[in-house]
Amino acid sequence: MKCDRCDKQATFHITERVGEEEQWEERHLCENCAREYLSKPNESESPSSLASALAQHLKIGQTAEELAKLDQQTCPICGISFYDFRHHGRLGCPHDYVCFEKQLTPLIENIHGERQHTGKRPRRSTRGADQQTRLIRLRKDMREAVRAEDYERASRLRDEIRELEGGA
């Protein structure tokens, strides 16, 4: 569907109530026209209206280019991209919380209401966090070595992983 104001693709579909009666008016706008439409002050709108909330979202929200750039960001340890996280809902390692901290903090606060974990934790961990991090890095390096057909390096890494895992 095309924008009501220009020939671009409409990405915002706004339905507004017109007047005191049950009359509804639909608007189909592209991002730029929606930003312009929603930023115009309307005397009849209260600050908590949906249109003002959308306008606030457009002001604060990331543009498509910023989101595309963010999606390319990857964790240097496990290699997961922010795009993978957004689409699968899972992080790859504990260091992703540090790597994507700026983006994850508001999300975690919104979901849990807190930044800090206050629930139960394991009484004793089978491995330390440093050892888990090393295992994640070694597994990633081994996958890359196999992909590059460097089988000698892959076998050394496999042996190192087995040693860390307890001689399995």
Phi, psi of 19 (to 5 degrees): 70, -170
| Residue 45 pLDDT greater than 50, yes or no | no
Buried residues in 65-97 as b, exposed as e (16+ CB within 10 A): eeeeebeeebbebbebbbebbeeeeebbbebbe
pLDDT (tens digit per residue) in 49-84: 555 555 555 555 546 667 777 788 888 888 898 888
Cα 81 to chain center, whole Å? 9
Q: Where are the domains of the chain?
A: 12-60, 64-112, 129-165
pLDDT for residue 146: 94
pTM: 0.40
